[in-house]
């Protein structure tokens, strides 16, 4: 998939564990960071989504770790959206350091109405062109 957004992120010491590598769960934080940037890239922020009464809770989170990231590495985190049903969105994410793939994975989200407490259709911007 072609990324719709990416961001550079310098690994702070606080992201690493006792072995000197980025703690595995932090990759899901990186996935969330790029998800925010992807929303901005399509002209829609979480703030706007929440004002419209929509939420995107995570139903599934997967990460395949290829190489470790370490303190002070400059990471590039990129992502792309893929609607998988009228109410579900898959967010593909990739973390690289230079030309080296460190991790890749995805999260699956339901589009949820906060008011009705149930799934609703994804906004059209996620399904355009599919």
What 3-state class would DSSP assign to 13?
A: helix
**DSSP 8-state symbol, 14:** G
**What H or E segment, with its residue span, contains residue 31?**
helix 26-41
Domain with 37 in it: what CATH number? 3.10.129.10
**DSSP 8-state symbol, 4:** S
| Max Cα-Cα span within the chain | 46
Q: What is the CA radius of gyration of the chain?
A: 15
Q: The domain containing residue 76 runs over which residues?
A: 5-127
Digit-by-digit pLDDT tens for the chain (130 residues) are 777 899 999 999 999 999 999 999 999 999 999 999 999 999 999 999 999 999 999 999 999 999 999 999 999 999 999 999 999 999 999 999 999 999 999 999 999 999 998 999 999 888 765 5
Predicted local distance difference test score (pLDDT) of residue 129:
54
Domain total in the chain: 1
For the stretch 106-119, pLDDT in tens is 999 999 999 998 99
């Amino acid at each position: 998939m072609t990324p719709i957004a990416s961001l550079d992120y310098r690994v702070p010491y606080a992201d690493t564990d006792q072995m000197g590598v980025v703690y595995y769960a932090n990759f899901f934080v990186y996935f969330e960071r790029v998800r925010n940037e992807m929303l901005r890239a399509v002209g829609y922020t979480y703030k706007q989504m929440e004002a419209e009464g929509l939420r995107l809770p995570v139903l599934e989170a997967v990460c395949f770790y290829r190489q470790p990231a370490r303190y002070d590495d400059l990471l590039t985190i990129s992502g792309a959206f893929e609607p998988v049903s009228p109410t579900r969105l898959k967010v593909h994410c990739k973390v690289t350091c230079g030309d080296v793939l460190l991790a890749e994975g995805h999260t699956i989200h339901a589009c949820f109405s906060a008011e009705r407490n149930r799934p609703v259709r994804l906004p059209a911007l996620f399904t355009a062109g599919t």
